């Protein structure tokens, strides 16, 4: 009985493997935060670049005179102005608001390793009628 008690006391006071347990608790949190930071950066870059492409396309339409062919040519060229993460950006044109308004939209896929949800993003650009 005394031998069992000594073994249990030694086991309870031992610090061997404590750093491994701490590492096992901290490492998954570190990986999740790292992936979240990378995905957030890519998402913000995509939104910013989509906004830039929408503004450039609205300007292209305004400078082209806003006619049907200018609108078609500029909207066809709009996806080439987008250099962000791959998300299949699409652009639409309207004359509501300040003049030539172009709205770009797409779905950004968040890469987690387990589940890859999509986040819908959109941006608009406006250029006054000339």
How are beta strands 118-128 and 99-109 bridged, if at all?
Answer: antiparallel
32-56 residue pLDDT tens:
899 999 999 999 999 999 999 999 9
Domain assignment of residue 73, yes or no:
yes
Domain assignment of residue 109, yes or no:
yes
How many domains does one find in the chain? 1
| Domain housing 63 | 19-128
80-106 residue pLDDT tens:
888 888 888 899 998 877 888 999 999
Domain assignment of residue 9, yes or no:
no
Domain assignment of residue 116, yes or no:
yes
Domain assignment of residue 10, yes or no:
no
Full DSSP string of 43-97? HHHHHHHHHHHHHHHHHHHHHTTS-HHHHHHHHHHHHHH--SSSS--EEEEE--T
Domain assignment of residue 77, yes or no:
yes
Domain assignment of residue 76, yes or no:
yes
16-34 residue pLDDT tens:
777 888 899 999 999 989 9
Res 129 pLDDT > 80: no
Question: What residue has token string 């941006």?
Answer: 123
Query: Of 3, 129, 2, which Cα lies nearest the Cα of 66?
Result: 129
Domain assignment of residue 6, yes or no:
no
């Amino acid at each position: 009985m005394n031998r069992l008690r000594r073994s249990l006391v030694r086991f309870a006071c031992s610090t061997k493997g404590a750093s491994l347990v701490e590492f096992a608790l901290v490492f998954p949190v570190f990986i999740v935060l790292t992936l979240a930071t990378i995905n957030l950066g890519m998402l913000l870059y995509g939104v910013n670049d989509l906004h830039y492409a929408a503004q450039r396309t609205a300007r292209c339409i305004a400078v082209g005179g806003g006619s049907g062919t200018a609108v078609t040519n500029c909207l066809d060229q709009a996806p080439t102005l987008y250099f962000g993460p791959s998300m299949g950006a699409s652009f639409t044109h309207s004359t509501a608001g300040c003049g030539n308004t172009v709205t770009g939209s797409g779905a950004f896929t968040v890469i987690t390793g387990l589940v890859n949800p999509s986040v819908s993003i959109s941006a608009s650009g406006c250029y006054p009628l000339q």
